[in-house]
Amino acid sequence: MPGEWEEHEAVWVGILRPSGNDTASAAIIKAIYKNVQVKIPYDNDGMVHSFNLFLHTQQVDTTQLHWVRDSIRTTWMRDPGPLFLVNKKGERKVIDFNWNEYGHCFVYNYQLRLSDIITGKIDQRIASYLQLPVVSTSIVAEGGGIETNSEGVLMSTEETALQRNPAKSLSEIEAEYLRVTHCKKMIWLKRMTLHDKAVPGLSAGNWVGGGANGHIDEVARFINPHTIALAKIDEEERWNNPISAADYTILEECYDILKKAVDVKGRPFTIIRFPYPDLNVHGISNLVTDGLRQRFTGKNFNLKNGDTVWRAPAVSYMNFMVTNGVVLSAAYWKKGMPMREKEKDEEVKTLLGQLYPGRQVIQINPFSINLFGGGMHCVTQQEPKAIKR
C-alpha cells in the first residue's frame, strides 16, 4: 500500500454541492488539476453542467477534468472509495473494505439504507472501471481511518476499529487489516478524539462533536516512512471547552504511544506536533428549541429551551492532502479571529513546506466541508501510478 507522497496517476475528488458554489471542492480542483489528472464521480448530467459552469468562474479549464459516471454521488471519496495496492512489477489492485456508514448505524440504532449500501460499493465500481482486480474483506474500515508509511506499517485507532466491527476482536481486525494492505505491523492509537466521535446526545457539557467518528487523518499522519505528524492542542486553549479538555489528554496519550512505536526494522519514528484549531473560535452555537431537541436521541441531552448548545465542526490541520507537486493545507484565519489562529495557519504552511520540499503548499479554507464532518483529505482519494517499486 503506497504512501500518499508517492506519484499519483489521478486524484478522485468528491463534490459537496453539485449544483455549484462548492468553493472548497472547486479550490481543491483548481489547486491540483495542472499537476495530476482529476477524476470526479457524478450521477446525472445536470451535475456536470452546473459544476463546470461554476468551475469556469473559478478560472479552471474544465476540459482538463475527467468526469466518471456512477450510480450515486459520493462526496467522501476517501472513505468508501478505493484504496490501492501496487506490487514491485507496477501492477495495481483495489482494496474493498466493508462499509457501515462510519458505524453510525450502531450509534443511532438504524438499519443501513439502500443508498448507504450503494455508496459502500463505490470501490468495487471504480475497480471495474479501471479494470483492476479487487481484494475484499468483511472487516469494516474507511480510507480516512487508516494510514500507511509505505514500508509495511499501518496506523489506526483501536476504539474506531472495534466500534465499526463489534463482533470482532482487535486481533481479528488487525490480521485482516494487514492481510489486505500487505503491511507487516500495526500501530494502534487507543481512543478517538471526542471532537470526532459520534454520540447520540451531547459529547461533553453543552458541546457536541461528531465528524467521521474516529478517523486517524484528523489527528495523526505519516509524512514519510520515518516521520509522523500529530496534532497538539495549545496548553492555554486546553480548558476553553470540555471537548478540548478531553482531547488534549487523548492526543498526549497518542504522543506517548507514538514515541514508543517502531517500524518493521525496529527504528523509532520522528514525531512532529502540529497545532489544532481553537474550537471556541470555530464552534457553531445554537439556541435549544423543541425542534433542535428532537434531533438529539441521547438520554444525556439535559439542556432547556433557550440554553446554548455548541457544535464542533471537523476543523483540523491534519486533514491535509498530498499529491504530485502540491500539498493542500487548511487556512482558517479571517479578520476578527484571534491572531493565534493566523499564526497556526502560517506555522502549518511552514512545516509542510519543510517536510515536503519541492512541493508547493497551497492553503484552502475547508470550513464549508468541515461543517459536514470532514475535510480536504476526506473528499479526495489518490490513485497511485503503476510504477515498478
Q: What CATH number corresponds to the domain at position 213?
A: 3.75.10.10
Residues recorded for the chain: 389
Domain containing 58 equals: 8-384
374: left (phi over 0), alpha (psi -120 to 50) or beta: beta
Residue 247 lies in a domain: yes
Q: Is the pLDDT of residue 45 over 80?
A: yes
Q: What pLDDT does 201 receive?
A: 85
297 — pLDDT class (breaks 50, 70, 90): low
Task: Retrieve residue 25's grid coordinates.
Answer: 471542492
Residue 82 lies in a domain: yes
Mean pLDDT (the chain) is 95
- Over the stretch 253-280, which tens digit does the pLDDT of each residue have? 999 999 999 999 999 999 999 999 999 9
**283 CB contacts (<8 Å, ≥6 apart)?**
207, 241, 310, 311, 312, 313
Nearest CA among 330, 359, 357, 264 for reference residue 8: 359
Q: Is the pLDDT of residue 20 over 80?
A: no
299 — pLDDT class (breaks 50, 70, 90): low
Bridge partners (DSSP) listed for residue 361: 327
**309 CB contacts (<8 Å, ≥6 apart)?**
202, 206, 207, 208, 285, 286, 287, 288, 292, 303
Mean pLDDT to the nearest integer, 342-346: 98
- Over the stretch 56-92, which tens digit does the pLDDT of each residue have? 999 999 999 999 999 998 999 999 999 999 999 999 9
298 — pLDDT class (breaks 50, 70, 90): low
Largest CA distance in the chain: 63
Residue 110 lies in a domain: yes
Residue 27 lies in a domain: yes
Residue 389 lies in a domain: no
Residue 3 lies in a domain: no
217 — pLDDT class (breaks 50, 70, 90): very high
Q: Count the domains in the chain.
A: 1
Q: How much is the pTM?
A: 0.96
Distance in angstroms (rounded) separating the CA atoms of residues 39 and 380: 10
Distance in angstroms (rounded) separating the CA atoms of residues 262 and 258: 8
**16 CB contacts (<8 Å, ≥6 apart)?**
22, 24, 25, 75, 368, 369, 372, 379
Residue 229 lies in a domain: yes
